Amino acid sequence: MDPVGQTTLLLTSYLGNAALPLYAFRKFFLSLSLRLSTQGCSPPPRIAHGHYTYVSGYLSLTTVVQYECQEGYALVGAAEISCRFSGWSSPAPQCKALCLKPKTPNGKLSVEKDQYISPEAVTIQCDPGYRMIGSPRISCSENRSWNPAVPKCEREAPEDRDIVLAGKNLLQCLPSPRDSKVALELHKLSLEIEKLERERDKERHI
């Protein structure tokens, strides 16, 4: 039976029983609107990490559903879709995972944002004097974490030849052997201090 015939049949059935109270009248129109509005429509699509609710009123002949995402996910697509005889107005939206901004001490991100939506990717570049431990390119995954893991930027240790060269240059500038000996001891001490500073910085980044 077509929608007009269904409407006529239901209305005749209701009017034939005038003793029904007001709440039954409302229930009748709700039932009528749902029957008419969902002609040709399958049940609303379910979505991962989200849910939908019916938002159409009692006298509406159009079924409208509204989608919401769980915390930590962002809605991508139309928040509301409707059905009026022929089908749903648009595909159901998606709930995409949100990843927090990766922490990269001594490094820079290619794109600076507070949150990123899966499957967004960013590239990390270490500051001068620091080397990267890990992959420079990471992506926001569906489990709300970065894949692969966020890399670290560690301070580069000076090459041995640079240390020797710096010591030679220092000794050549001193006039006496005694001054050279004192300078050499000071140079060794400065290297030890630099080594301790590197170890301290490494512990802070762990």
The CATH number assigned to the domain holding 63 equals: 2.10.70.10
105 and 90 in one domain?
A: no
pLDDT score, position 186: 76
9 and 62 in one domain?
A: yes
Listing DSSP states for 5-59 in one string gives HHHHHHHHHHHT-TT--HHHHHHHHHHHHHHHHTTT-PSPPP-TTEEEEE---TT
123 and 57 in one domain?
A: no
12 and 88 in one domain?
A: yes
Mean pLDDT within 36-58: 77
Among 58, 75, 96, which residue terminates a domain?
96
167 and 91 in one domain?
A: no
56 and 12 in one domain?
A: yes
Among 66, 96, 126, which residue terminates a domain?
96
pLDDT higher than 80, residue 1: no
Instruction: Dump pLDDT digits (tens) for 92-138.
Output: 999 999 999 999 999 999 999 999 999 999 999 999 989 999 999 99
63 and 108 in one domain?
A: no
75 and 12 in one domain?
A: yes
pTM for this model (two decimals): 0.53
pLDDT score, position 3: 44
pLDDT higher than 70, residue 58: no
pLDDT-derived band at 2 (thresholds 50, 70, 90) equals very low
182 and 106 in one domain?
A: no
Query: 124 is in which domain, residue-wise?
Result: 101-155
pLDDT score, position 7: 44
d(CA 48, CA 66): 15
pLDDT score, position 94: 95
Among the listed residues 134, 129, 135, the one whose alpha carbon sits nearest the alpha carbon of residue 156: 129
Instruction: Dump pLDDT digits (tens) for 12-42.
Output: 554 555 555 555 545 555 555 555 444 567 8
